[in-house]
């Protein structure tokens, strides 16, 4: 799948951008602060959620005008071409239209798969478990679009349960209803996560790649991990008095963590060098793309922000070769065209610069 047309109006630093594209990778270069990342952030909104920066709709409006923004594009996928548009006025939540019909955000997951790797993820293995869960759930969503609904159901019920816990409420009936909802949704979340890890494992096995294989495991921050609906229901009940003392829910899929190992060396990802950690992340993103290409008949759109800056020429060439072999429209950013020299005419180049306070995009 790929975007053949993209229009941005008053989005971030871009006042007006119109691009006509083909299925080849898109290499975007220009000085720091010119608006390269803003451009690929717009592409990230073709998937459900708040995009790769997890920003509010109000924060995406171009300043100083702040008159609202709009993004539109033609998505070419296995089932044809769809016109997709997003807009936000006065900071309101973005409105989504597919083929000129208003639709919920989650409907995007049925049409588009967008996978990204951004510099903020470079510290994934050494920071808190929340970031790793978010990374894992983005992978999960690419395979199981309904994962978003299960996660929202779980989080909504957990927020209400946490409110009862903080208020020291001890009515067992109230807890039973919420815990039933959490157990049902939590079991689906866990099953989706485990299936995704297995899918990534299979995609890495036997792949011709210069990037290291990452062994992944889902672990619990403390104690054993409840997996089934019955296990979760029992765990919530047994932990209730401890949770009341803590004022929050201490067991469940929201406490899971992603543990990674550099397979060839048997070294935990958290103990690897910075370069090795980056290579492991790239390997996982490529495995995700390979698996989706096999499942859907088309690779996802890849967004790789500043990915080439930390790779030597050999690794860059290997990355570009894999992307082109996949047939993926990968949007990549870098400061200079030399970072994309190994692509040659296999990519379409865009130059982004600041012109009178607005980003300007021209063919490279």
Q: Is the same domain home to 142 and 262?
A: yes
CATH number, position 237: 1.20.1050.90
Please report the pLDDT score of residue 110 as a whole number.
84
Q: Is the same domain home to 47 and 5?
A: yes
Q: At what angle do helices 129-143 and 172-204 cross, to 10 degrees?
A: 70
Give 69-106 pLDDT, tens digit per residue: 999 999 998 889 999 999 998 888 899 999 999 998 88
Q: Does any domain span residue 209?
A: yes
DSSP string covering 142-198: HH-TTHHHHHHHHHHHHHHHHHHHHTT---HHHHHHHHHHHHHHHHHHHHHHHHHHH
Q: Is the same domain home to 47 and 181?
A: no
Give 149-193 pLDDT, tens digit per residue: 999 999 999 999 999 999 999 889 999 999 999 999 999 999 999
Q: Is the same domain home to 109 and 246?
A: no
Q: Does any domain span residue 335?
A: yes
Please report the pLDDT score of residue 223 as a whole number.
66
Q: Is the same domain home to 335 and 275?
A: no
Please report the pLDDT score of residue 184 as a whole number.
97
Q: Is the same domain home to 47 and 108?
A: yes
Domain count of the fold of the chain? 2
Q: pTM for this structure?
A: 0.91
Q: Is the same domain home to 201 and 283?
A: yes
Where would I find the H helices in the chain? Answer: 36-44, 129-143, 147-166, 172-204, 229-238, 240-246, 274-296, 313-326
Q: Does any domain span residue 118?
A: no
Q: Is the same domain home to 156 and 254?
A: yes
Q: Is the same domain home to 294 and 317?
A: no
Choose one of 266, 299, 332: the last residue of a domain: 299
Q: Does any domain span residue 119?
A: no
Q: Is the same domain home to 133 and 255?
A: yes
Closest by CA to 39, choosing from 49, 47, 29, is 29
Max Cα distance, the chain (Å): 67
Using CB atoms within 10 A of its CB, is residue 73 exposed (0-12), middle (13-18) or buried (19+)?
buried
Q: Does any domain span residue 88?
A: yes
| Positions in the chain short of pLDDT 70 | 223-224
Please report the pLDDT score of residue 78 as a whole number.
86
Q: Is the same domain home to 97 and 191?
A: no
Q: Is the same domain home to 289 and 274?
A: yes
Phi, psi (rounded to 5 degrees) for 218: -95, 120
Choose one of 299, 317, 335: the last residue of a domain: 299
Q: Does any domain span residue 316?
A: yes
Please report the pLDDT score of residue 345 as a whole number.
93
Q: Does any domain span residue 120?
A: no
Q: Does any domain span residue 347?
A: yes
For residue 255, give both structure tokens.
């406490």
CATH number, position 85: 3.40.50.300
Under 8 Å between Cβ of 61 and 86 = no
**Domain containing residue 183:** 125-299
Choose one of 247, 277, 299: the last residue of a domain: 299
């Amino acid at each position: 799948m790929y975007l053949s047309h993209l229009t941005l109006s008053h989005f971030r630093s871009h006042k007006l951008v119109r691009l006509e594209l083909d299925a080849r990778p898109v290499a975007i270069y220009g000085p720091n602060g010119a608006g390269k990342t803003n451009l690929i952030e717009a592409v990230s909104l073709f998937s459900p959620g708040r995009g790769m920066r997890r920003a509010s709709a109000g924060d995406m409006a171009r300043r100083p005008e702040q008159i609202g923004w709009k993004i539109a594009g033609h998505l070419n996928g296995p089932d044809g071409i769809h016109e997709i548009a997003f807009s936000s006025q006065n900071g309101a939540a973005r409105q989504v239209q597919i083929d000129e019909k208003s639709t919920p955000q989650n409907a995007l997951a049925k049409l588009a798969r967008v996978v990204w790797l951004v510099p903020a993820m470079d510290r994934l293995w050494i920071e808190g478990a929340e970031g790793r869960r978010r990374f894992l759930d983005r992978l999960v969503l690419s395979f199981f679009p309904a994962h978003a609904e299960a996660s929202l159901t779980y989080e909504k019920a957990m927020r209400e349960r946490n409110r009862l816990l903080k208020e020291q409420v001890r009515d067992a009936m109230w807890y039973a209803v919420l815990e039933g909802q959490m157990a049902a949704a939590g079991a689906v979340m866990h099953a989706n996560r485990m299936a995704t890890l297995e899918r990534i494992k299979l995609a890495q096995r036997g792949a011709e790649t210069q990037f290291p294989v990452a062994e992944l495991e889902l672990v619990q921050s403390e104690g054993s991990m409840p997996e089934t609906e019955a296990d979760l229901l029992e765990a919530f009940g047994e932990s209730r008095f401890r949770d009341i003392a803590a004022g929050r829910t201490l067991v469940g899929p929201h406490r899971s963590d992603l543990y990674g190992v550099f397979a060839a060396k048997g070294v935990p990802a958290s103990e690897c060098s910075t370069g090795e950690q980056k290579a492991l992340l790239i390997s996982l993103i490529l495995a995700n793309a390979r698996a989706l290409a096999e499942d859907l008949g088309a690779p996802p759109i890849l967004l790789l922000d500043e990915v080439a800056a930390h790779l030597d020429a050999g690794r860059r060439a290997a990355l570009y070769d894999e992307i082109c072999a996949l047939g993926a429209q990968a949007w990549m950013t870098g400061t200079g065209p030399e970072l994309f020299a190994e692509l040659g005419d296999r990519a379409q180049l865009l130059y982004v610069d600041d012109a009178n306070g607005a980003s300007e995009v021209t063919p490279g």
